Amino acid sequence: MNWDIIQGKWDQLKGSVKQQWGDLTDDDLTQIQGDRDRMAGKLQERYGWAKTEVDEKMNEFFRRHV
């Protein structure tokens, strides 16, 4: 997964991310700015998932959307 591409397209992807993970706030999305570690941390915080689960869900999502 190329996170440079995700960062470059972040403004376009935010709506899809919000649909997928509705517990993320607009402020969360602004703070994340396409940064992989920030996003993983926010998902762990909001959903209580383990790091491996977060990684799987993020990889699956971004494979479909990038």
Q: Is the pLDDT of residue 1 over 80?
A: no
Output phi, psi for 50, to 5 deg: -75, 160
30-65 pLDDT, tens digit each:
999 999 999 999 999 999 999 999 999 999 999 999
d(CA 66, CA 55): 16
* Spatial separation of the C-alpha atoms in residues 5 and 45, rounded to whole Å: 25
Rounded Cα gap, residues 42 and 63, in angstroms: 19
For residue 20, pLDDT beyond 80: yes
Give me the pLDDT at residue 63, please.
95
CATH fourth-level superfamily of 3-65? YjbJ (1.10.1470.10)
Average pLDDT of the segment spanning 5-15: 95
- At 8, the amino acid letter reads G
